Amino acid sequence: MYKWQKLGLVITPQENLWWMKTHAMIPTLEKLDNDLMRVYYSGRDAKNVSHIGYCLIDLNAPNQVIEYSSEPVLSAGDIGCFDDNGVTPSCIVKDGDCTNLYYIGWNPGFNVRMHLFGGLALKTSDSPEFERYSKAPIIERCRVNPYLNTAPFVLKENDRWLMYYVSGTEWLHKDLPRYNIQIAESKDGKNWHRDGKVAIDYKNDQEMALARPYVIKDNGLYKMWFSYKEDAEKGGAYRLSYAESKDGFDWERMDDCSGITVSEKGWDSDMIEYAAITEHKGKKIMFYNGNNYGANGIGVAIEA
């Protein structure tokens, strides 16, 4: 079982930056040279539209921000596209000289509250800005996934690409989708095969939401942190859970082993979710969101 020491809020909304007037949602990590980490996340502008930007952090002092990006690296797509109402990061993968940004595209619904699908943007230079691989999502609806398909987290292992993604299994009513975590495979990180393989499933009929998988490989073992809501229909709030796998396909869910939960008071006292984990000098570091889906920002905890 993991144990974590919380260090408090580190990344907060910046009123002086037009693209993140509110929120800092879903930390997504890109490790740089010399102990530096670029933490991507989405902030919301004055119209409540999400943009992806980042801040720079020295992992020797992970509770301090060196600088915030003055502009976003990716903004909402063209009107009518799957991401025309905003974008949120979910994973960064290095592929040779290219950096792949897998992200969530937001689109308002009519009979349902929203549509969410996974997109891909790329960059090959030192510039932090990304360009879309396609105006269409890379994981859309298909025969086995007819509802929302989003929050792609991708691992590249030689010629094998694995994606863990959030897939809707039904809508209980306009404002309440039900979704678990499934697995896709690819040969190039762009074109994905899905057959409905479930990585993390509901533990009972009351569980509604399994969200934002984040996977690391540690001494040959696959380790996943993910968010879950119990009894969401009655207003359940997110908590963080944990799972392990020997092969990346068959997972054992271990809810009591995440090692972190809500605080007694403050910014993460109601919910805790969307963890991202890295390792630095032999200790794991976790960035995560708290109450109201990142309204206060992103906090950090270090392995105790």
Residue 230's pLDDT band, with cuts at 50, 70 and 90, is confident
For the cut 80, the answer to whether the pLDDT of residue 110 exceeds it is yes
240 near 258, Cβ under 8 Å?
yes
The residue segments making up the domain with residue 83 are 4-303
Residue 33's pLDDT band, with cuts at 50, 70 and 90, is confident
For the cut 90, the answer to whether the pLDDT of residue 71 exceeds it is yes
**Positive or negative, the Cα torsion across 60, 65, 69, 72?**
positive
CB neighbours of 248 closer than 8 A, spacing ≥ 6? 155, 162, 215, 222
| pLDDT tens readout for residues 160-218 | 999 999 999 999 999 999 999 999 999 999 999 999 999 999 999 889 999 999 999 99
**Positive or negative, the Cα torsion across 69, 70, 75, 78?**
negative
Report residue 166 as tokens.
């959030």
**What's the rounded Cα separation, in Å, for the pair 274 and 295?**
13
| pLDDT tens readout for residues 114-127 | 999 999 999 998 77
| pLDDT tens readout for residues 245-274 | 999 999 999 999 999 999 999 999 999 999
Residue 126: what pLDDT?
Answer: 76
Report residue 36 as tokens.
């530096």
State whether residue 256 is helix, strand or coil: helix
Q: Mean pLDDT over residues 24-51, rounded? A: 96
Residue 234: what pLDDT?
Answer: 62
Tell me the C-alpha to C-alpha distance, in Å, between residue 249 and each of 143, 184, 294.
21, 10, 30
**What's the rounded Cα separation, in Å, for the pair 230 and 236?**
6
Q: Mean pLDDT over residues 149-156, rounded? A: 98
Nearest to 120 by CA among 57, 184, 171, 180: 184
CATH code assigned at 86: 2.120.10.10
Residue 233: what pLDDT?
Answer: 61
Strand partners, 186: 161, 192
Nearest to 149 by CA among 233, 79, 82: 82
The total domain count for the chain is 1
